[in-house]
Structure 1
Amino acid sequence: MAPARRARGFTLVELMVALFVLALIAVLSWRGLDGMVRAQEQTRTRADEVQALQVGLAQWTADLDALVQLPQITALDWNGRVLRLTRRSPGAQAEGVVVVGWARRAGGGAPRWMRWQSPPLTTRGQVDQAWSRADAWAQDQAGTGSANEVAITGLLDWQVFFYRADAWTNPLSSDATQQVTVTPTIPVTGTGTTAATGTTPDTATAAQQTTSGTRTAQLPDGVRIVLNLAPGQAISGELTRDWVRPTVGGGKS
């Protein structure tokens, strides 16, 4: 009868080698999963940046499309810091108008392209105050409506051009305004001397006062912005966007 074979177990060295292999497989698996998670987060971040830029450009176009020209109120202006405009209120038409500002601001961190909007306005005084607040906001002055601002994208610098006289020009150039003559009619009853002019009007006609030299903003046929987007984003480098006034039609290049 053959002798029984003696059972043989794992040696300590074999056990340590097995544990080392399992640990190595676990580390490699973890690194692979971590890389996948990081890639997903980066892809999501890039997608959010692209979407934010698309929404910002769409809002830019919507603001210009909703421009409102009111008597003795500037509808569109660029002073080198902020592009301000007066547009219809996004809500009901009875809510009045809003003043919108677009500017490059630090906002407590890296410079970004940002948008500011006032509450709905119904009086000339409210519009004037909001117009001044938009300029103060663009200069990073504290307490000037940061709650109403939205950051769009990282921005190194930007330029604005207006399309006038079949050419893209600097909005700050001398042709930004035009000379007009205002001739309001002063109602007259009976005869005598008018308080406005100190003259005696003809009883057959109403006296008229002519005011010359008034300068009013000339609304351009188009607006071009050139954005120098900050590096490290989903979209960086120079980006140009053109807007053409709907009443003009056609493309500007």
Structure 2
Amino acid sequence: MTAKRRREGFTLVEVLIALALFALIGVAGFTLLDGVLRTQNATETRLARMAEIQRAMLVVTSDLDQLTGSVAGSGGGLSLRKVDVSGGIVSVRYDLAGETLTRTVSGPGGERSQTLVTGVSDARWSFHRRRGDWLDTWPVPDPLGASSGAGPQLGGATRLNPDEGLTAVALDLTLTGLDDRPGAAVRRLVSIPLTDAPQAPVTTAP
């Protein structure tokens, strides 16, 4: 009597279990890949944001390092005169327009503007004088101007006391979109060479 050959193959239950396992592995792999891509995208965005901020702070530092002794500022605006790469004197103005910190250079070659930092909710310039205190506005009028009721005039000539030399300038930025924190603060402090001569004001945009 011939023995029946054993039928080889998978049962329906085994096939369903295998499909379920493959589905779980696929979902896990997709979740892992999606997490890696999201992390990479967030890292690239943060690095680009940090590079933008670092470039802006480097530009501010370079401008103040090349200061010729003429600077004026208040609130989110700053104006100064500096020496450019060709040795000439140019005027530089910083302004907060909306949520963008801009830099405008005016000189013999005309005027050009550039965007330094975006996503800026607030920008504040402050000024340290030899007396040892920080001021929100520079230059400071002398007592004669103060007694006559005239405050600091950024667009006109303001007399300075010779002992009120500018020693440092600070820029405080309040940024959005940095480390997922609302109102992240960045500060740059630049020392100004100490001089005995009073500094002449320059014109800033109102």
TM-score by length of 1: 0.59
Describe the shift of the 1:5–1:77 C-alpha distance in structure 2 as closer, same or farther (beyond 3 A). Answer: same
- Report the Cα offset of residue 153 of structure 1: 4.5
Using the TM superposition, name which of 153-162 and 37-46 deviates more. 153-162
- The match for 1:87 is 82
- The match for 1:115 is 102
Runs of 4+ in 1 over 6 A off after TM superposition: none
Gaps of 5+ in 2: 144-156, 196-206
- The match for 2:140 is 176
Q: Which has the higher contact order (CA 8 A, sep 6+)?
A: 2
Matched, 1:246 2:193: yes
Task: Give runs of aligned pairs for residues 85-234 of structure 1, distance below 5 A.
Answer: 85-89=80-84, 91-93=85-87, 96-106=88-98, 111-112=99-100, 114-118=101-105, 120-121=107-108, 148-164=113-129, 165-171=131-137, 176-178=140-142, 215-216=158-159, 220-230=166-176, 232-234=177-179
- Report the Cα offset of residue 55 of structure 1: 2.0
- Report the Cα offset of residue 216 of structure 1: 4.8
Q: Percent identity at matched positions?
A: 27
SS in 2 for 1:118: strand
TM-score by length of 2: 0.70
Deviations 1:103-159 (A, max 9, x none): 3222xxxx23x232325427xxx6xxx6xxxxxxxxxxxxxx6xx322325322232
Contact 1:98 1:117 in 2 (8 A): no
Residue type at the aligned position of 1:241 = R
SS in 1 for 2:5: coil
- Report the Cα offset of residue 16 of structure 1: 3.0
Residue type at the aligned position of 2:89 = V
- Report the Cα offset of residue 79 of structure 1: 4.1
Residue type at the aligned position of 2:108 = L
Give the structure with the higher percent strand.
2
Cα distance between partner residues in 2 of 1:38 and 1:58: 30
Matched, 1:63 2:63: yes
SS in 2 for 1:37: helix
CA RMSD of aligned residues (A): 3.0
Cα distance between partner residues in 2 of 1:65 and 1:46: 28
Gaps of 5+ in 1: 70-74, 131-144, 180-213, 249-253
- Rg larger in structure: 1
Aligned pair count reads 177
Residue type at the aligned position of 1:171 = T
